Each structure stands twice: as structure tokens, then as C-alpha cells.
Structure 1
Amino acid sequence: MSTTPDPADAVSTAVIVVNGRGQYLLHLRDAHKPICDPGTWSLVGGAPEAGESPDRAIVREIHEETGLVLPDVTPFTTARADGPYVTENHILVYLAHWDGDAHGLPVTEGITFLWADLPTMAQMTMCPWAYEAIRAHAAEHPAGAVPEPRPPVDRRSETGAVRNVIGAHLFLERDGTTLLGLRHPDSAFAVSTWHALAGHVERESVRACLVREAWEEAGLVVEPADLTLVHTVHVLDRADAEPRIQLFFAASRWSGTPAVREPEKCTAWEWWPLDALPEPTVAYTRAAIDGIRAGRAYTELGWDAPWGPARRSGRPRRAVGRAEPE
């Protein structure tokens, strides 16, 4: 049975998210950073900020890490963490329900998201306290004793402001070539595809994100003052996806030789001619490089596809992925 949660004692938060099939949402933590439980499958969560209650903290953490706003997030149990780099060992664990595509969630921290049932978790490298909390929930709620799945959200019907995920990309040019990385075969995005050095912008400026990602991913040193915005791609991948704003910054100078520092994400760095990019290359990366070479500042992709608002509203359609001049 779960313990009685006491929010007053909590110094950190986490959430068990379960779907209608009795599966749990797992978050793969970075393996090569000085953090608690590195390289394990764990739960979404984090510590409250100054003056913030645990209830508000978990709602904020869910949105920051997954982009979701979940109804009925309620306290479930408590857990204690131990080991290196643990700073908040008393964790208030919440419970929420959601039916959606785990792989479609934006990855702002860690590696990827995954739905898994308890037997599958027994074969995975699990964060110990998260595993025990999930086991406690599974014992009280056998598979099938959760609400039926709800239909996926169709964002074509949304009105008003919606969240746009921001991606930061580094465009390096050297003697008519540009640096691209080959994505890992098991990556959650762009499997075995060439892509610019990039990352999701966390609670930081875009330039700070690129400085961090350049060092973490490739061992390159870039100064913020040497970064200039050269192209923006606004992407809508599908009807139920969050729109994404992909910013490409050129570096006027940098130091270091590209090296594979996160092999679970990228298996190689190579310089490719600007007029002969490799196949396959991520579509919006190719569009951005084409736009940079043509002197354009902005490209739209996907907005005129069958799921896009332009098609739905009956406005005249342009070719999908066509680069629009500023």
C-alpha cells in the first residue's frame, strides 16, 4: 500500500503517469552527467523553486519536461532517493493519467520517453525509488483498472495561443562544407539520419543552449558573442504535434575538433559540402541550409500539409515545405 503523502515534508516531486493500457510513462535520464541515477529510466519531476508548493512544482515540471498540461494530478505516495548527487531525497510522488504518443513528446531534458508495463521494467535499468513507486501503484491498480484510452488530441481544432517548442541549431561552415552528425539507430528522433548539432532550449537563452550543446555533444568551444541567427524554420510535423521553431545560428569562430561525446545520440561528426548534403538529412535541416545559401531568413514546413491550418481553412495552398522569403 502507498504511504500517506505529506506535502509539507517533500523537498522534491515526481509523477507516475499511467495510460489506459496500464503502461507507465518512463523518462530516460542522461548517462554522462553528474546527476542522480544517471542512465536509468525514471519519472518526470523535480524540486520546487523558492516559495513554490509541491503541487505547483509538479505541474510546472510536467509542462517543462513533456509539454503536457495534465488534469487531476494528485498525491499518491512518498519515496526516498539515495546515492551520489542526490540533493532532494524526500520525494512526493503524484499520479496522473494520459493517453498519447510517448515518442512524440518534446525532450527538453534527458534522452527519450517510453511507455512500459511492469514486466518490461523488470528487464530495464530502472531508477530504484521510481521502480518501487510504480510497483506500489501496480499492486493497488491491476492492469485494466484504469480509465479507457481517450482519443488523441487533434490540434487542428485548437484556438488561441499554443506552445511552440524551440530548438537551437549550430551552423558551422568551413571551406564550403558544414558539420553534420549521424543520429544513433536507437534515437527517438531522426534514426540514422544526418542532422545539425542541436538541442532543445531549456530555461536558458538560445545562445547559452548552443554553447552548452556544442561542448556536451561535440567538445567544441563557442562564445555567445560569436553566434548570429541566420535562419528560422517553423515546423508542423503532424496534426497532433506541437509546432516547433527551429533557430539556426552561425558561429563566426570556434575552437576544438568535433568528437562524439554522446554516443547514445550521435555516432559520427563529418563535414559535408553545402551543395552535396548526405542522404538522408533531416528535412528541416536541409531546408535551413538551402535557405542560408539563398540568403533567405525564414522557411515554413508542414503548415500546408493535409493536417495544416491553411488546408483546413480553405486558403490557397502552397507546396509543402516551400521556403518563403522574408
Structure 2
Amino acid sequence: MTVQDPVTGRTRFAVVPASYVFLLRETDPGSGTGTEVLLQLRQNTGYMDGFWAAAAAGHVERGETAEAAARREALEEIAVADLELRFATAMQRTAHDLPIDERVDFFFTARSWSGEPRIVEPAKCADLRWFRLDALPEPVVPHEAVVLAGLRRGDLPALSHHGF
């Protein structure tokens, strides 16, 4: 999708920003058995239904920072607050199957929060489960799988790309 710049009159493409939160926890701390991530199974959203995805994610609203959007989405989707967010990566993404195909995604992790994660929007979320980073379910939303693989390996760059 393109928009016309009101100042220059030039045509530019529109970018949709979104924030994602991966809640992480250690399984049996001290045992070396690994890290788990909380994922939701999408349903009735019109995008990647039937795929596992970040437990909380959504568009950044006008006048909202990426961090504020991440906190809002976590409260709205899984009822957790007071997240200690850590920036993981920003992903420039193109998705040729969407009406607005240019995306900038901000990924955060959190290992500390208040509240017990639960499904708040059952019409959009069929399941909510913890999975080891080295034993993820199938299928995972493809661009999110890239981030999860980088988290598992410990080599996730600050800026990543998908779909180019």
C-alpha cells in the first residue's frame, strides 16, 4: 500500500509497526534443561490462524511507544502486567500477502511479570502453552520462528529482516 506525502507530494509506502512479547522462563533452574517460551495458538484472526505465535502481540497505536504497546497487549491478551521488558530485535519485514505489506516489528522478551498468564480473548486464542525453545510446536508463524531460533542460539541481531 502506498500513501501520498502531504508535504512533498511523493508517493511512499505505508509501514505498520507491531510489538511482540515472548515470556521466557527457565525449566528447573540450575539443571541446564533449557528455556521455555509461552506461545498462543491463533484462531479466528484472519492471519496465520492455526499457527503458534507470541503469547502477546499487536499493532502499535498512534502516539504509543513500542514498549507501551507491548505492555498493553500483554495485559489485554494474557492478563500480565509489570513486565520487565528486554529489547530483542527490530525486524523489517515484507509480507506480500497482506494489504499493507511493509512491516516493522519490535520484539521483546520478559522473564519477570505480575499475574498468571491466561487466555483473555478465547475467540482469538485456541490454546496457551509453554514450550522449550529447542522443542517448539509446529507450525510457528514464520517470522516469529526466525526470532525464536535466534533467541535459542543466542545470536539474534539487533536488526533482522524477513521476506526479502
Task: Give the TM-score of the pair, scaled to structure 1.
Answer: 0.42
CA 1:288/1:160 → structure 2, altered by over 3 Å: closer, same or farther?
farther
Q: 1:167-316 to 2 correspondence within 5 Å?
A: 167-175=18-26, 176-184=35-43, 186-196=44-54, 197-203=56-62, 204-223=64-83, 226-238=84-96, 241-293=100-152, 294-297=154-157, 298-303=159-164
**Number of residue pairs the alignment of both structures matches:** 146
Residue type of the alignment partner of 1:258? P
Q: Given that residues 235 and 243 in structure 1 are in contact (C-alpha distance below 8 angstroms), is that contact kept between their aligned partners in structure 2?
A: yes
Question: In 1, Cα distance between the equivalents of 2:111 and 2:124?
Answer: 26
Question: In 1, Cα distance between the equivalents of 2:133 and 2:146?
Answer: 12
For residue 161 of structure 1, report the CA deviation from its aligned partner.
Answer: 4.0
Identity of aligned residues (%): 34
Q: From the two aligned structures, give the one with the greater helix fraction.
A: 1
Residue type of the alignment partner of 1:302? G
Partner deviation per Cα, 1:21-53 (whole Å, 9 max, x = no partner)? xxxxxxxxxxxxxxxxxxxxxxxxxxxxxxxxx
Residue type of the alignment partner of 2:13? V
Q: Given that residues 25 and 111 in structure 2 are in contact (C-alpha distance below 8 angstroms), is that contact kept between their aligned partners in structure 1?
A: no
For residue 245 of structure 1, report the CA deviation from its aligned partner.
Answer: 1.0
Highest RCO, 1 vs 2 (Cα 8 Å, sep ≥ 6) = 2
Q: Aligned-residue CA RMSD in angstroms?
A: 2.2
Task: Give the TM-score of the pair, scaled to structure 2.
Answer: 0.80
Give runs of ≥4 in structure 1 deviating > 4 Å. Answer: 67-70
List alignment gaps of at least 5 residues for structure 1: 1-66, 71-158, 304-326
Greater C-alpha radius of gyration: 1
List alignment gaps of at least 5 residues for structure 2: 5-9, 27-34
Residue type of the alignment partner of 1:174? R
Question: In 2, Cα distance between the equivalents of 1:187 and 1:211?
Answer: 20
Partner deviation per Cα, 1:96-132 (whole Å, 9 max, x = no partner)? xxxxxxxxxxxxxxxxxxxxxxxxxxxxxxxxxxxxx
